[in-house]
C-alpha cells in the first residue's frame, strides 16, 4: 500500500467544525486538493464546499 499512496501533513490546525476531529478531514482535504469529502455526518459538515472540495453525502456522490 505504501508504494501507491501519498502522505500529506496539514500546515495549520483548523477550528471550523464544532466536533474537533472533523476539522482534520478539512485540513487533509485542503492539503491533498481532494475533489470530495463523502460523509453521512450532515450535522457537522453543514457546508457544501470547503476550499475547492465538495462535501456530499454517499447518496449525492
Domain borders along the chain are 35-61
Whole-structure pTM value:
0.82
pLDDT, tens digit (0-9, with 9 covering 90-100), for 25-36: 999 999 999 999
- pLDDT of amino acid 5: 85
Task: Check the CA dihedral 56-42-26-8 and report its sign.
Answer: negative
pLDDT, tens digit (0-9, with 9 covering 90-100), for 40-52: 999 999 999 999 9
- pLDDT of amino acid 12: 86
Amino acid at each position: 500500500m505504501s508504494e501507491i499512496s501519498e502522505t500529506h501533513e496539514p500546515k495549520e490546525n483548523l477550528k471550523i467544525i464544532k466536533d474537533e476531529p472533523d476539522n482534520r478531514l478539512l485540513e487533509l482535504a485542503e492539503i491533498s486538493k481532494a475533489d470530495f469529502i463523502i460523509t453521512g455526518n450532515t450535522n457537522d459538515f453543514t457546508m457544501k464546499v470547503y476550499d475547492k472540495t465538495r462535501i456530499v453525502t454517499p447518496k449525492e456522490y
